[in-house]
């Protein structure tokens, strides 16, 4: 178990529904960062640049994530996902349908972060912060790259938050409700399941106080 306490963490969510239960407990620090990697990054940077705001020992993205199909559903369904490695691979880039400058940074890692959670209901994998939701089955080329790099989760805000935390030298990780399989039916599965999984995740975090 880590020395990091729940009270030391700033939990950043995309929207209010992902932190409403945590926000009701005055011991927990929360921040609604916004939807998508750009909005989340800008808002977190503004928060950290304001000297009047509370400064956390670590920042955690909290919310939901889709799971890439190379991880069997039986290994993640009903569990929570944690990450401390974050990539920014657009699926079209992996399929060589678009070109991005080689000088761009596509990955951030926070190897020294120790999560204040433990147990078999947490699954650790790297997260692909795509900035969008993948609505197609991945091509063999893209799937192989995702699998080789150990990217099990997909989330829209994680990479933007990671980039800002790297800039401010603050440890960063994520804890997700694993709501759906990435693919054509992912969004519909998310709509049907995010609320109950978010409640379960927030209650789990509260149990560590």
Give the span between the Cα atoms of 49 and 66, in whole angstroms: 31
Question: Residue 16: its pLDDT value, please?
Answer: 97
DSSP secondary structure code for residue 137 in this structure? P
Burial of 146 (0-12, 13-18, 19+ CB in 10 A): buried
Instruction: Please answer whether residues 100 and 53 qualify as being in contact, where contact means their C-beta atoms are separated by less than 8 angstroms.
Output: no
Per-residue pLDDT of the chain (209 residues; tens, 9 = 90+): 468 999 999 999 999 999 999 999 999 999 999 999 999 999 999 999 999 999 999 999 999 999 999 999 999 999 999 999 999 998 888 888 888 887 888 999 999 999 999 899 999 999 999 888 999 999 999 999 999 999 999 999 999 999 999 999 999 999 999 999 999 999 999 999 999 999 999 999 999 99
Quick one: which of 48, 58, 65 has its CA closest to 158? 65
Q: Which of 144, 209, 143 is nearest to 181 (CA)?
A: 143
Given this model, what pLDDT does residue 189 score?
Answer: 96
**What per-residue confidence (pLDDT) applies to 1?**
44
Compute and round to an integer the Cα radius of gyration of the chain.
Answer: 16
pTM above 0.85, yes or no: yes
Decide: helix, strand or coil at residue 70.
coil
What per-residue confidence (pLDDT) applies to 142? 94
Phi, psi at 100, each rounded to 5° = -125, 150
């Amino acid at each position: 178990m880590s020395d990091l306490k729940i009270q030391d963490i700033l939990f950043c969510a995309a929207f209010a529904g992902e932190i409403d239960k945590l926000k009701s407990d005055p011991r927990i620090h929360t921040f609604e960062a916004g939807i998508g990697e750009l909005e989340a990054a800008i808002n977190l940077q503004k928060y950290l640049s304001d000297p009047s705001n509370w400064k956390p020992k670590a920042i955690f993205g909290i919310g939901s994530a889709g799971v890439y199909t190379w991880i069997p559903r039986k290994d993640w369904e009903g569990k929570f996902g944690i990450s401390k490695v974050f990539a920014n691979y657009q699926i079209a880039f992996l399929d060589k349908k678009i070109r991005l400058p080689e000088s761009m940074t596509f990955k951030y890692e926070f190897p020294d972060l120790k999560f204040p959670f433990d147990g078999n209901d947490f699954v650790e994998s790297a997260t692909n912060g795509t900035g969008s939701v993948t609505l197609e089955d991945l091509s063999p080329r893209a799937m192989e790259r995702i699998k080789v790099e150990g990217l099990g989760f997909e989330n829209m805000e994680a990479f933007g938050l990671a980039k800002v935390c790297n800039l401010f030298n603050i440890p960063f990780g994520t804890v997700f409700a694993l709501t759906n399989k990435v693919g054509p039916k992912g969004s519909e599965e998310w709509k049907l399941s995010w609320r109950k999984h978010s409640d379960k995740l927030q209650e789990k975090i509260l149990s560590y106080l």
